[in-house]
Chain A
Amino acid sequence: MAGIGVFLVLAVASIAAPWLWPVDPLAQELTNRLRPPVWLGGDWMHPLGTDDLGRDMLSRLLHGGRVSLLIGLSATVISGIIGSALGLIAGYFRGRADSVIMFLINARLSMPLILIALVVVSLAGSSLQMVILVLGFLLWDRFAVVVRAATLQVRGQEFVLAAQVAGASSTRILWSEILPNVFGPLVVVATLEMAHAILLEAALSFLGLGVQPPTPSWGLMVAEGKKHLLFSSWMINIPGFAIFALVLSINLIGDGIRDIAAPDGRH
């Protein structure tokens, strides 16, 4: 769908950045600062203009896309592993393990995400890796909830009972019988959480506690552009719109997958 199309464009463009548009995103040209994009009077040397240090906006946009995608993907993988593991255990073994895990989920939900992330990053140092770790260790709750619900549904089915009767170990059952069958909802949550991670990283970088300059990040670019809100508003609008477009496309993909996996019109 449209989501896949937009996402692919953004993803490929970002990944292929160095070949598509071989301009260094970090190269400052102080004589060339704040040039507007092409449709506002600029020239094709810098199709999206330059920022207040003369760096090419198009290049920074593309490289910033790489950062967003990298962080989104990595954080989602980490939180997905943690959350899914917890969800599988809670859903399959039930009883005390379930109560404990539900309690943990509740405790985690009670904590204001952004603040905790801000605190950890400010203390442990803000870098790309740190942001990934922090987000990865904070965003597992929805994975756990969804995988748990799906596991509860699957565990009563016959092939699971058959495996149990055949004497398969719990680990094997979880891995071979249950996990493949909770894959649908898992993927849907994964896409949604990836979008969430990207938004959070943008917010952290905007507040100055995410990716650090001079590495380009869309949130950081919006923050840098804030000073020029009055006369050079494209500086915030281009990266801002990029974040919006990327997150929207990922959400659309997630919705699309959900519609395929649950065609009975559940919302």
Chain B
Amino acid sequence: MTALILRRLLLSALVALTVSIVVFGVLRLSGDLAITLAGERASEAVIQEIRIQYGLDRSLPVQYAAWLGDLLRGDFGNSYYTNEPVGQLLADKLPITATLGLAAIVLAIAVAVPLGVAAAVWPNTWIDRACQGLALIGQAMPAFWLSLLLMLLFAVQLRWLPVSGTGTWKHFVMPTLALSTYAIPAIMRLTRGGMIEVLQSDYVRMARAKGLPGRTVVFKHALRNALLPVVALTAVQLGFMLGGSVVIESVFALQGVGYLAWESILRNDFIVVQAIVLMLSLFYVLLTFLADLVNAWLDPRLRAH
């Protein structure tokens, strides 16, 4: 088991390193950073000054090594826009996005798993079709439009919730609803598929033959096994949602990390953007690593890998 953990850890670390290279590369190579920072009409002298000031005149590997070294020491640099330490900015905004993300994934699971189970237990009935329809709608719905619709309904028409901004728990309701739609379709489909498969398996038939009540069969025996892939998927979906939070937070002006990323992109504050993208990626790597571990713990068959 330890060997498994170590191997996965090493792989995760390698992935993290690769991501850091890509993030760094994307930022440096998609356009001359110095020109973007200086502004389009700046003179060559100003551009050159900016190059030296931000260390952009060094060769790429040197820049990367310096950046990585800083990162490992916990120094994320200072914002190009406000000159505050980036680490501080992130620490301020992260709780909001974390709250949003957690609330959304909890909501998604609370909605999707029961629906998926219901659809599997009564396949091809109206329940099943309704659930599948819901999944289709959720997948096709552009998140920003849904957010605006929610705003129209709950904030403008019904006046139950504030339109946008940050502050009270009420500000989180609509963003959570909107964000959870990223994950609900996939989780529901996987739960349904897994349950259908499991319900047809031998040990379930055995349990039924033993005369166990249906509910026990479904919940105690079938669900535990069907949920295995859902665990991994949930981690993946949480990772996606953190990326998708950019759109949702910007619509609702929710001052989280996603909103900060969008603002920073618009303000050419790339050092902040770099840190945020890296942080979200690392978080995703961590999540998948943990999901792997949980999977291995839940299913002993996976441990002999």
Q: CB within 8 Å of B: which residues of A?
A: 103-104, 106-107, 109-116, 118-120, 122-125, 195, 199, 202-203, 206-209, 219, 222, 226, 229-230, 233, 236-237, 240-241, 243-244, 247-248, 251-252, 255, 267
Contact = CB atoms under 8 A, between A and B. Distances in A.
B140 A247 contact: yes
A116 B142 contact: no
A243 B151 CA distance: 19
B110 interface: no
30 contacts: A106-B11, A110-B285, A110-B288, A111-B281, A111-B284, A112-B242, A112-B243, A112-B277, A112-B281, A114-B244, A115-B243, A115-B273, A118-B246, A119-B273, A119-B277, A120-B26, A122-B265, A122-B266, A123-B31, A124-B31, A206-B142, A236-B148, A237-B145, A237-B149, A243-B142, A243-B145, A244-B142, A247-B142, A267-B192, A267-B193
Interface residues of B, number: 55
A229 B36 CA distance: 33
Contacts of A203: 142-144, 247
Given A112-B281, A267-B189, A229 B148 contact: yes
A64 to B, nearest CB: 13
A115 B261 contact: yes
Given A120-B30, A123-B36, A199-B142, A240 B136 contact: no
B302 interface: no
Given A115-B277, A122-B268, 7 more contacts: A110-B239, A112-B242, A115-B280, A119-B30, A207-B250, A222-B148, A267-B196
Contact of B140 (A118, A219, A233, A248): A248
A118 B30 contact: no
Q: Is the interface of A mostly helix, strand, loop or mixed?
A: helix
Contact of A240 (B145, B239, B246, B288): B145
A110 to B, nearest CB: 5
Interface string B1-41: 00000000001001110110011001100110100100000
B31 A248 contact: no
Nearest to A267: B193
B48 interface: no
Interface in B162-202: 189, 192-193, 196
Given A120-B26, A122-B265, A208-B266, A219 B142 contact: yes
A124 B136 contact: no
B232 to A, nearest CB: 12
Q: Which 4 pairs between the two chains have the least Cβ-Cβ distance?
A: A112-B243, A240-B145, A248-B140, A123-B31
B42 interface: no
Contacts of A202: 142, 144
Contacts of B71: none
A111 B175 CA distance: 22
B157 to A, nearest CB: 10
B141 interface: yes
B152 to A, nearest CB: 6
Contacts of B236: 109
